[in-house]
Structure 1
Amino acid sequence: MELRQLEYFLMLCEEMQFTRAAERLNIAQPTLSQQIKVLENEVNTPLFHRIGKKITLTEAGQILYRQAQTIFKTLHTTKIQMQQLASLEKGILRIGALPGELTNIVSDLVLKFMHKFPHIQVTVTSGEDIHTLLKNNKIDIGFSFSPLIENYDEQFVEIPLYTEQFCYVESKDSAAQHEPVQLRDILNEPLVLFPNAHLCRRILNAAAKSDKLSIEPKFETSSIPAIFQFVEQGLGGTIVAKTLFDLHVSDKLHAHIIQHPLLERETLLIYQKERLQSPAFKAFLDLLEPALTNYQLSFSANSL
């Protein structure tokens, strides 16, 4: 059963006369009669009572008439919805990001995106393993850091967005460090740090280990606000990624860039190579570079 045959059938139901139906369809009457006969043979039952030149629907024809109307209504609705996707009047975008400052940046980007495309449904999932979220079709696009990428997987596209350095943050009242600072000097100061499981801390630990230095923090916490509150009160300094400091900037704090080859990280945008990307996905990419520029981040060459 072909859609063309159903289209002929519905027109004949509307006109109830072969000649007029054929004229409206812009086909010859014998062609219409032949196609209706093929349709009747396929369903193995007559669809019309033929009494002279008059025709009326059989019971089977009435059933097919109702179902054919439903089919064409569904096709019309589907076409409209697909046009809405293309015009960004409808759609879903699922984004994944590592917990912490990256989630904060992504959430801010999403706000900008939703202001521009209010009809797109957007979700942001925070997770430690972006690749697994992508593989399990939980997200369409993810953001992660290069130190977490141990083995390149060919099924993913990984686009470098920007590289950021780490900084030593202290209260302005106790600021005594000069730019730039050295890791060896900072580790002698009282420090308020993330626990060892946190990505920032793992990068810091690796840098210290490479210089054969030990880290003995005064206080450890996973709470970002608590870390900056302790530093503001002059209880110690902290070592964090520059974007994290920028997101929690305060007139009571001062940040010093740390000169160390291991104390930097690259942010990656990741998605599956073979997955057909939606118009919403492409629109988000178009928004990404100018939006991140507002954070004054340094983009990798030809990243997007």
Structure 2
Amino acid sequence: MKPQLDKLLSSKSFLYFLQLVETMNYTQAAQRIGISQPALTQQIKKLENNVGAELFYSVGKKLYLTNAGKIMQKTIEEIYDSLLIATESIQQDTNEVSGKITLGISASIEDKVFTDFIVNYFKKYPSVEITILMVNRKEVWNSLETGKIDLAVLYVPEQLIDNWRAYATKSILKDEILFLHHNSDFIGKTEISYSETLKQPWVTYPKAYFVSQVILNAFKRKQLPVPESVAYFTKPAQMFKFSNETGTYTALPKSFFQAHECEGNLSAIPFNPPLEMDLTFVLRKEKEKIPRIKHFLEMFDHYLEDEDYISRLKK
């Protein structure tokens, strides 16, 4: 392979480019793939230097594709389509209950329901080999885009889903982020303003984590300082324990709190305005046609029909 072509054909640069095309917003694209906005800008500039042409231009605050950018988009999408078709031609088995399925679950999501389901699924369909990867959001997106995983499980802001052309989604649970506290002054409140939550330090997800970005952006939209964090954890159970034993504030998914409320002395209040998200399966649209993927999702639906997600999470 020619050296210049070797630099150009980077799955990472393709991923970053396509995410920016999807959102036409550097901030949103950077949050989605889990990197900083300057890092994304640098990667796009690097790709433009390798191509020898600008791929985007802006008018005011709006971002648009140049002609070169449109050619690049069409080419990259054709490359991915060809790779996915080739991969599935090699791997696909017409039997819906045999073959391999790989799930990528964001590390900030509790995996209990998915693990329990897969144990149940294997007992019925032992010819399906299932792998779960608990990785950070950036790795989940990269693996999804490059075909290394079949299904991603992510928290997704509802307003973004409608803009995704290359992906299909399947909602698992309507969720929201709740404010958790020990403050007796808040008892009886049905909602809480963002400014009221700044009176004590917090324990949070790391700043680069998607849920953390959602929370921080909500404070910035209110033109408020972001909460002072004295500790950072990647797992909600760790944050819950730290907050419960130290008196610090925190914010966690409602689904987690409902399942673990009895394990501590924390109270929960919705934010005003609320921070709503969907817990969602995300997959490339080509994957919907694969029999074993379709069957797996149908069986997961039946699993939750027998007993809902929150009830299973509490076990």
Question: Structure 1 length as normaliser, TM-score?
Answer: 0.59
Q: Match of 1:232?
A: 244
Looking at structure 2, the residues matched to 257 and 95 of structure 1 have their Cα atoms a distance apart, in angstroms, of 32
Amino acid at match of 1:170: H
Residue 265 of structure 1: how far off its partner (Å): 1.1
Instruction: Give unmatched runs, 5+ long, in structure 1.
Output: 1-80, 298-304
Aligned residues: 213
Residues 195 and 94 (structure 1), Cα distance of their counterparts in 2 relative to 1, 3 Å cut: closer
Q: Match of 1:113?
A: 121
Q: Which of 161, 167, 191 is the equivalent residue of 1:156?
A: 167
Amino acid at match of 1:119: S
Q: Tell me the SS of whatever aligns to 1:166.
A: strand
Q: Match of 1:139?
A: 149
Higher fraction of helix = 2
Q: Match of 1:279?
A: 291
**For 1:121-270, what aligned pairs fall within 5 Å after superposition?**
121-127=129-135, 128-129=137-138, 130-147=140-157, 152-171=163-182, 176-182=186-192, 183-224=194-235, 225-261=237-273, 263-270=275-282
Looking at structure 1, the residues matched to 277 and 174 of structure 2 have their Cα atoms a distance apart, in angstroms, of 6
Q: Deviations over 1:254-279 (max 9, x none)?
A: 34231334512122322222346443
Please tell me whether the aligned partners of residues 239 and 250 of structure 2 are also in contact (alpha carbons under 8 angstroms). Answer: yes
Q: Match of 1:294?
A: 308
Looking at structure 2, the residues matched to 190 and 252 of structure 1 have their Cα atoms a distance apart, in angstroms, of 19
Question: Structure 2 length as normaliser, TM-score?
Answer: 0.57
CA root-mean-square deviation: 3.2
Q: Tell me the SS of whatever aligns to 1:260.
A: strand
Looking at structure 1, the residues matched to 267 and 126 of structure 2 have their Cα atoms a distance apart, in angstroms, of 37
Q: Tell me the SS of whatever aligns to 1:122.
A: strand
Residues 101 and 246 (structure 1), Cα distance of their counterparts in 2 relative to 1, 3 Å cut: farther
Amino acid at match of 1:220: A
Q: Tell me the SS of whatever aligns to 2:256.
A: helix
Residue 191 of structure 1: how far off its partner (Å): 2.0
Looking at structure 2, the residues matched to 245 and 151 of structure 1 have their Cα atoms a distance apart, in angstroms, of 28
Residues 232 and 290 (structure 1), Cα distance of their counterparts in 2 relative to 1, 3 Å cut: farther
Looking at structure 2, the residues matched to 120 and 175 of structure 1 have their Cα atoms a distance apart, in angstroms, of 53
Which deviates more, 151-160 or 162-171? 151-160
Please tell me whether the aligned partners of residues 167 and 258 of structure 1 are also in contact (alpha carbons under 8 angstroms). Answer: yes
Amino acid at match of 1:94: T
Residues 139 and 226 (structure 1), Cα distance of their counterparts in 2 relative to 1, 3 Å cut: closer
